[in-house]
Amino acid sequence: MEANLQLPPILFWDIDPSKLDYDAKARFIIGRVVMYGSLADWTAILAYYGPDRVRDEMLQERYLDKKTLNYLSFYFEVPKTEFRCYTLQQSIPQHWNY
């Protein structure tokens, strides 16, 4: 099943992409693709994992940048407040918030 998912190795610059388990590390892989991947990578993970699994994994992700969070909230029609990263972001006070 892994042969169906072809992602650029540059997305996984800090690990050996050949040793990556696509099912066990789904949240890690999906997170990298949504924050750093291309539109083709996005459609590839949607086809491989399915929209429900992508949504469920991203709801539990600890960190997403603001653009990615807004996009996923809009795409899946889920309020930002339901994402774990949004809740964690609000509970950590900013030191210098200009």
Q: What does the pLDDT read at residue 36?
A: 94
User: Which 8-state DSSP code applies to residue 23?
Assistant: T
Task: Return d(Cα 69, Cα 12) in angstroms, integer.
Answer: 21
Count the neighbouring beta carbons within 10 Å of the beta carbon of residue 30. Answer: 23
Domain ranges of the chain: 21-91
* pLDDT by position in tens, the chain (length 98): 445 788 999 999 899 888 888 999 999 999 999 999 999 999 999 999 999 999 999 999 999 999 999 999 999 999 999 999 887 765 566 666 55
| Cβ atoms of residues 57 and 73 within 8 Å | no
